[in-house]
Amino acid sequence: MNKIIKIIMVSTAALLLISSCGCTKGNSMRWTAPPEMQLDLTKKYTAVFDTTFGSFEIELFATTAPITVNNFVFLARQGFYNNTVFHRISKEFVIQGGDPGTGILGTGGPGYTIEDELQVMRPYDPGIVAMANHNEPNTGGSQFFVCTGYRASGLDSTPTYTQFGRISSGMDIVLKIAAAPVVLDSQGEMSRPLNPPKINKVTIIES
């Protein structure tokens, strides 16, 4: 691939990937600070997603991204992700969710931000789950994305999104969500789902 084209693709991917300004409209669950550490790092954590397309599971990287996983587990146990949608879908790139607000522009968050955890990096392969952010350090909150195709590898050269999990079961459901029909969003990207796939509930299993 031409080097200039690759740079443009990577830059575009990074810029489009994330909007989580914390100005929710449809969810009153907001906090002024991140949750205190509640994980038991001797245990394994799995997130089970029940969606309108089916169920899938995420193996959470508690030992390598404890702050991010602790935050996700806290929000999930509070019911923060229940009845939210995947508001951004790019079939060969990512599906993005975790916005408790309108679920259209992806501008919702929990009212606080968390630190990045970028010490351990893996390729952004299909199935990797990472935090969205403001395109600035330490600005993650509640929004996350699941890598779904070859375009996600463009993030490898700019690894600024904390990887905190990996699909361990139900990747076929994730890809079914990724194939949902989309239209142009407000930024001119073909990524706004016509009928947004819904997250009915996220359940955390500790073992």
Domain range summary for the chain, segments of one domain joined by +: 3-21+40-206
Q: Is the pLDDT of residue 174 over 50?
A: yes
For 33-71, what is each residue's pLDDT tens digit? 999 999 999 999 999 999 999 999 999 999 999 999 999
Domain covering 3-21+40-206 in this structure, CATH number: 2.40.100.10
Tokens of residue 109, six digits? 């968050």
pLDDT recorded at residue 19: 43
* Residue 106: band (very low, low, confident or very high) from pLDDT cuts 50, 70, 90: low
pLDDT recorded at residue 17: 52
Q: 51 pairs with which residues across the strands? A: 54, 199
Cβ atoms within 10 Å of 25's Cβ, excluding its own? 10
The whole-angstrom separation of Cα 145 and Cα 161 is 10
Secondary structure letter of residue 34 according to DSSP: P
Q: pTM of the entire structure?
A: 0.88
Mean pLDDT of 125-150: 97
